[in-house]
Structure formats: C-alpha cells, structure tokens
Amino acid sequence: MLRAFLAFDISQGVIGELLKAEEELRQTRADIGLVAKENLHFTVKFLGDVPDGVASEVDKRVAGLGLTSFEVGLKGLGVFPDLLRPRIVWAGVDAQDEPAITERAEAVIEAMDGIGKPEERDFVAHVTLGRVRSRRNVEALTSFVHANGSRDFGRTRTTGLKLKSSILTQKGPVYADIREYALK
C-alpha cells in the first residue's frame, strides 16, 4: 500500500517568501507544527492509502485531461476552520487567479473518481504552512494571521502535476515524487 496524493509544486522564490512567514509564525510562540520547505505545495487530491500499482491508473486518467500550465499569485494568510478554532494555517491564492488553479484541480479530482479516498469537501486553493497543536498563544497566532490577511508572497508558474507518496514519521511526513505529469 501507498499513501499518496496529487499536487502542484511552487517556485523557489515563493517558497522563500512562505518560509519568512513561517519564521514570523514561530515568533508568535503558538504551538504550531510548521511545514518543512520541501513539503510546501498545493494539494490537489489526497488519495489516501492505495495499492502500489495505482500509478499506472493515475497515468491513464491524467493523460486524457490535456491540462495546461498556469501562473498564480499567492496572497494572504488564513486558517481552517476559522479564527476561533484555528487548526491549519495557510497561504491563499490571489482571488483573480483562483479560477486558473481551481479549474485544473477540479478536472483532476473528477478524473480520479473511484481511486482512493472520496472527496469530503470542495477544493480550496491553499498552501498549508502549519498545523495548530494546542491553544497555547493562539491569540498571538490569530492576530498575526489577521494582520497578514492580504500579504503578497509573489507569483508561481506551475508546469507540472505530481503524484507523491507520503510516509508519516515522528518528525513529520516525508514526501517523494512518484510521477510528474507535464502541463502543456
């Protein structure tokens, strides 16, 4: 079995800006597990635990999509589910660019119907920066998120969709690229 998901990567320049925000999040002294540099991405579809041979089925389904490359701006910090109960801290996509990523992501999600875990919620374009582990200093965290609600992290060009594996360890997840599908 393989714990897998599909994702769009982010440019190194934008990753650098996201890491600056993570360092500032750390300074709030909130109890938050920050995402490692190499794990920053847009999750498109979490497949969950799937058979090892699933990659060939994903290959077939992605090949028929004809996805094109796109560019989006990352803008603003937010939390899921809300500021009263923050669990996930994320960087969002500039509103004008949301259709570009959402249309492609929804096409991928639809193509993966029947593979792995069923979709539980609508796609929301975001990059997870951290997971809140407790309420310690949550006021400082939510204040920081509120103050950075329209922060600009730069633009990223996406030229590929990746099938990634995820191995959970005590130090956090370790991701590996299984396949990359070039966008036209």
Return d(Cα 158, Cα 101) in angstroms, integer: 9
As annotated, the active-site residues are 41, 126
Return d(Cα 19, Cα 24) in angstroms, integer: 9
Residue 159's SS3 state is: coil
Return d(Cα 60, Cα 120) in angstroms, integer: 24
What values do phi and psi take at 16, rounded to 5? -60, -40
Handedness of CA 120, 164, 127, 65 (dihedral sign): negative
